[in-house]
Structure 1
Amino acid sequence: MTRTLVVTNDFPPRQGGIQTFVAALLDRRPPDSLVVLASRSPGWERYDAALPYRVVRQRTPVLLPTPATARAAVRLAAEHRCDTAFFGAAAPLGLLAPGLRAAGVWHLVGATHGHETGWVALPGARQVMRRIAGGLDVLTYISDYTRSRLEPALGGRTRLAQLSPGVDVDRFTPAADCVPVRRRHGLGEGPVVVCVSRLVPRKGQDVLVAGWPRVLDRHPGARLLLVGGGPDEARLRRSVAAAGLGSSVVFAGPVAPAHLPAYYAAGDVFAMPCRTRRGGLDVEGLGMVYLEAAACGLPVVAGTSGGAPEAVRDGETGTVVGDPRSPEAVSAAVTALLDDPARARAMGAAGRAWVEQRWSWTTIADTFAGLLEP
């Protein structure tokens, strides 16, 4: 049996998309085939105690490719006779790969997400990514968009293979009980547009708010439910107050992963009009929230940033807004779905079927196993 050393800074209980991705991949591997080297975050002792595999935490909140981390990785690989290694995020921890190979780990895989597309756009960081790729047998990518950015910069230094995040279709389901969420946040009986994401400019909550009066013109009882926290919250709240939208825009704050399906299910439409910023350095790698929403039976409204359009079948499971910076365009896409509930429900059903077929963790886990056991 292949035994794998997992080296990752991104690991629960710290929350985030990469953390969720890595943990879900490991949940579907034989427990005795894994040992994890990770950083510490609040609550790690309790979290690790419930896991079926061993986790070793370095005494640091951020795991970097330092000599101490390199020694710990080599020691664990030898102790557990690991023949493969997986880097939860290849940049920068993939720099440890040559040392592990020299210590007898013969097959090394590193994952990329979205931020690496920014790395390869900058000369110094690009050289680091080329070094990382040269030390790995496989470098994974999450979308065709991220591959298109990575491949030219890496110059054939390693094999590229797709490993996208997946959706737990047993948790994210139209049957999720949304009644407590609707009651807690006073959403009433009108239509709800939900956005689940960090509150940062790239995600487009500001455009949703700017276009919201146009939605209310046609659907006065509608509510906009913003789920998540982030540095843009204060600015968004000021915009809501200045426009007099306080009664129709609800800030739910951060929500624990276990409760997210109910928040999706509380909506009639999901909207996150993400946009690319900073000359392409701030970009959406894929957009798992679109797939989670689709799994819950919602039609989605997406932006054009990076790989986001790959998480939507435009016109079938939702709408990709060509100009996600335009409040008029975004509000028109949202309103069109609220105007035609039958079409919205059909899109939601199509999205659910697509996620079950293409994006379920069962499918992704089989892909991951094939990458670790070539």
Structure 2
Amino acid sequence: MARTLIITNDFPPRPGGIQAFVHALALRRPPGSVVVYCSSPARRPGARGWRDPEAFDLRQPFPVIRERTSVLLPTPGVLRRARSIARLEECDSVLFGAAAPLGLLAGGLRRTGARRIVALTHGHEAGWAALPGGRELLRRIGEQTDVLTYLGEYTRTRLARALTPEAAARMRHLAPGVDVDRFRRGAGGAWVRERYGLGNRPVVVCVSRLVPRKGQDTLLRAWPRVLAEVPEAALLIVGGGPYRSRLERLAQELGVDRSVRFTGSVPWEELPAHYDAGDVFAMPCRTRNGGLDVEGLGIVYLEASATGLPVVAGDSGGAPDAVEEGETGHVVDGTRPGPTARAVVRLLRDPSAAREMGERGRAWVEKEWSWDRAAARLGELLEG
């Protein structure tokens, strides 16, 4: 049987959209056909949302080999280990969970006997394509791999400018799917509302890492206007990250902290329930640092749609690809609070229209964003 070595820094129990993407693809490969070589999450036993990687790895239907470092880099030592694993596990193809920077190992793995090498790209590679050094790195990766994938037209266009014409012609579309059996109405939102004292209030939920690009600060700045129109509304901000203390201070400065709940990081298995606690999903992401910090797609919008929520998305990068404007949600300028406030108020003040939008979103995800489709596409790319 053909076997694939997945090399990645983005793998659970570390949380995040790329991690979930890579893990879901691995789970859907044929039994016995996958080996994962990855880094280890920082040890934070006792922290909320922290999961023991050893216990996680033992539950996987494939071997997971971790380095005792939080980041794998394309060093000679990592290459030697990857080549050794590929030989011992008889892997004839390689999948990089993210092309940059580990895709630089492709040439060395080719010499070990890898006949097919595929590298996934996300938002950060689109940012690298804007830098001279990053463009050179991506060009080298494109020359050494058989296929670079892209999430949508935005990322394809940005990446193609950094590649040789030959490598650009080999690019292929591969976007994540959504597990519609997990993300659905009735997934446990009632107990989340009870935990945070939300009762029957209208709830806007935002699920993401707390970093500036995601736009939780824009959402908070919009919140006084929302409360002026819908005084009983509550905002549930789900996720952890370095921006939390700044966001909590901002909520206090704006005088809205009584209506805002910060959950911190939550376990992966509890995420569907947190979506289900909301009536509207909003994450007004925005592009930062001159295009270097950009949203590749925004799987959270699709998970929210699968749960039956209308979504308010920012206009960063490929995020609009995850929304059908006016049908499943609205795309707004994530740099300004006004558009976000108006979109959220419109949805909260017309619950019937919001529910219909959420139902259309659910149907769209079921039709266009299935994991079976993504897994079949990956199989084709690995087979060549």
TM over 0.5: yes
State the aligned residue count: 373
User: Does structure 2 retain, via aligned residues, the 8 Å contact 1:130–1:157?
Assistant: no
SS of the residue aligned with 1:32? coil
Equivalent in the alignment of 2:117: 108
Equivalent in the alignment of 2:323: 312
Runs of 4+ in 1 over 4 A off after TM superposition: none
User: Does structure 2 retain, via aligned residues, the 8 Å contact 1:270–1:298?
Assistant: yes
User: Given the alignment, which residue of 266, 290, 300 partners 1:279?
Assistant: 290
SS of the residue aligned with 2:345? helix
Q: Does 1:253 align with 2:264?
A: yes
Equivalent in the alignment of 2:68: 59
Q: What amino acid sits opposite 1:148 in the alignment?
A: T
User: Does structure 2 retain, via aligned residues, the 8 Å contact 1:87–1:94?
Assistant: yes
Equivalent in the alignment of 2:12: 12
Q: Does 1:337 align with 2:347?
A: yes
**How far 1:175 sits from its partner (Å)?**
2.2
User: Does structure 1 retain, via aligned residues, the 8 Å contact 2:98–2:121?
Assistant: yes
User: Does structure 1 retain, via aligned residues, the 8 Å contact 2:213–2:294?
Assistant: yes
User: Does structure 1 retain, via aligned residues, the 8 Å contact 2:11–2:38?
Assistant: yes
Q: What amino acid sits opposite 2:243 in the alignment?
A: D
Q: Does 1:346 align with 2:337?
A: no
Q: What amino acid sits opposite 2:241 in the alignment?
A: G
User: Does structure 1 retain, via aligned residues, the 8 Å contact 2:143–2:164?
Assistant: no
**How far 1:236 sits from its partner (Å)?**
1.5
Equivalent in the alignment of 1:201: 212
**How far 1:285 sits from its partner (Å)?**
0.5
**How far 1:213 sits from its partner (Å)?**
1.3
Q: What amino acid sits opposite 1:366 in the alignment?
A: A
Q: Matched residues in 1 for 2:325 and 2:226: separation?
A: 21
1:1-28 residue CA offsets vs partner (Å, 9 max, x unmatched): 3211111121122222211111110000
Equivalent in the alignment of 1:235: 246
1:309-362 residue CA offsets vs partner (Å, 9 max, x unmatched): 0000000000111x2222121101000011111110110000000111111211
SS of the residue aligned with 2:171? strand
Q: Matched residues in 2 for 1:236 and 1:78: separation?
A: 48
Q: Matched residues in 1 for 2:253 and 2:39: separation?
A: 42
**How far 1:232 sits from its partner (Å)?**
1.8
Q: What amino acid sits opposite 1:332 in the alignment?
A: R
**How far 1:193 sits from its partner (Å)?**
0.5
Q: What amino acid sits opposite 1:222 in the alignment?
A: A
Equivalent residues in 2 for 1:88-167, closer than 5 Å? 88-158=97-167, 159-167=170-178
Stretches of structure 1 lacking an aligned partner (at least 5 in a row): none
1:139-198 residue CA offsets vs partner (Å, 9 max, x unmatched): 011121111100121122421011111111110011212111001101121210111111
**Measured at CA, do residues 340 and 53 of structure 1 come closer, stay the same or move farther in structure 2, by a change above 3 Å?**
same
Q: Does 1:290 align with 2:301?
A: yes
User: Does structure 2 retain, via aligned residues, the 8 Å contact 1:272–1:301?
Assistant: yes
User: Does structure 2 retain, via aligned residues, the 8 Å contact 1:297–1:345?
Assistant: yes
Equivalent in the alignment of 2:314: 303
**How far 1:60 sits from its partner (Å)?**
2.3
SS of the residue aligned with 1:59? coil
User: Does structure 2 retain, via aligned residues, the 8 Å contact 1:2–1:373?
Assistant: no
Q: Which is further off, 53-62 or 26-35?
A: 53-62
Q: Matched residues in 2 for 1:276 and 1:60: separation?
A: 30
SS of the residue aligned with 2:301? helix
User: Does structure 1 retain, via aligned residues, the 8 Å contact 2:16–2:209?
Assistant: no
Equivalent in the alignment of 1:221: 232
SS of the residue aligned with 2:13? coil
SS of the residue aligned with 2:71? coil
Aligned CA RMSD, in angstroms, stands at 1.2
User: Does structure 2 retain, via aligned residues, the 8 Å contact 1:181–1:263?
Assistant: yes
Q: Which is further off, 290-299 or 45-54?
A: 45-54
SS of the residue aligned with 1:90? coil
SS of the residue aligned with 2:161? helix
Equivalent in the alignment of 1:369: 379
Q: Which is further off, 294-303 or 36-45?
A: 36-45
1:173-228 residue CA offsets vs partner (Å, 9 max, x unmatched): 11212111001101121210111111122111111111111111121111011111
Equivalent in the alignment of 1:27: 27
Equivalent in the alignment of 2:48: none
